[in-house]
Amino acid sequence: MAKPVAIEVYNPNGKYRVVSTKPMPGTRWINLLVDQGCRVEICHLKKTILSVEDIINLIGNRCDGVIGQLTEDWGETLFSALSKAGGKAFSNMAEAILVNCSRGPVIDEEALVNHLRENPMFRVGLDVFEEEPFMKPGLADMKNAIVVPHIASASKWTREGMATLAALNVVGRIKGYPIWSDPNRVDPFLNENASPPNASPSIVNSKALGLPVSKL
């Protein structure tokens, strides 16, 4: 069981230990954690999806929180490992506000409903659900829950950006451009004051199609 390598550490003397199973765009999320006294560890292991064993090694003997991916096998084994390492769960989040606008299945919705019912001061805002378009029984009736129908991206800037990227994907395929090397770094395609790179910004199945990758 090899320990994941290439761990990037921010604020090494932080009071709380938070690990991320992969790098994420930007640095604001890191700064927010550091400002709250967290030591942030980011795994740069070159795997599309980390195995359960890899993540358990990342968690180690003491861990206050993990930022993971929905595609990872986040089941009882990993949640148990995190709990044993001191990670927080619903049961010991007495007064908090939980916001999920990423993917529904990252939260056990049935457990959430029970916790909301038993802890009136705990609040939640949800834009996504475990089994869309349905919600678990009781969730919609919770006075300490705000739910909206998967519209977190419904700002003018975001929707215009999505349309721009879609159009540039089409242009890229017509022109025979390679695929942009980092689909999480699309700012160069959204800069209205400069011409976009000669690449397709985000073809999800480009690897399966064997499309060439840009060196930019």
From 25-34, 65-74, 133-142, 177-186, the region with the lowest mean pLDDT: 65-74
Residue range 99-124: average pLDDT?
Answer: 85
Task: Please determine, for residue 96, whether its predicted confidence score (pLDDT) is greater than 90.
Answer: no
Whole-Å CA distances, 45 to 9, 21, 58, 82: 14, 8, 11, 20
Mean pLDDT of the chain: 84
Percent of the chain past pLDDT 70, that is, above it, reads 90
The burial of 71, by beta-carbon neighbours within 10 Å (0-12 exposed, 13-18 middle, 19 or more buried), is given as: exposed
pLDDT tens string 164-173: 999 999 898 8
Percent of the chain with pLDDT over 90: 26
Helices (H) then strands (E): counts for the chain: 7, 7
Domains of the chain, with CATH numbers?
1-88 (no CATH), 92-152 (3.40.50.720), 156-209 (no CATH)
**pLDDT at residue 157, rounded to an integer:** 87
pTM of the predicted model as reported, rounded to 2 decimal places = 0.51
pLDDT of 4 > 60? The answer is no
How close are the terminal C-alpha atoms of the chain, in Å? 35
Whether 103 sits among the annotated catalytic residues: the reply is: yes
Q: Is the pLDDT of residue 2 over 50?
A: no
**Sign of the Cα pseudo-torsion (82, 70, 132, 145, in order):** positive
Tens-digit pLDDT profile for residues 130-164: 888 899 999 999 999 999 998 888 888 888 998 89
Please tell me which residue, 79 or 22, carries the higher pLDDT value.
Answer: 22
The closest alpha carbon to 83, from 102, 95, 65, 98, belongs to 65
Residue with the two structure tokens 């916790």: 115
17 belongs to the catalytic site: no
Q: Where are the beta strands (DSSP E) in 71-126?
A: 97-100, 123-126
Chain segment 182-195, per-residue pLDDT in tens: 888 899 999 989 99
Q: Report the DSSP beta bridge partners of residue 41.
A: 9, 19
> Exposed, middle or buried: residue 66 (CB in 10 Å: 0-12, 13-18, 19+)?
buried
Q: Which of 53, 118, 131, 132 is catalytic?
A: 132
Catalytic residue status for 76: no
Give the highest mean pLDDT range of 10-14, 79-83, 107-111: 10-14
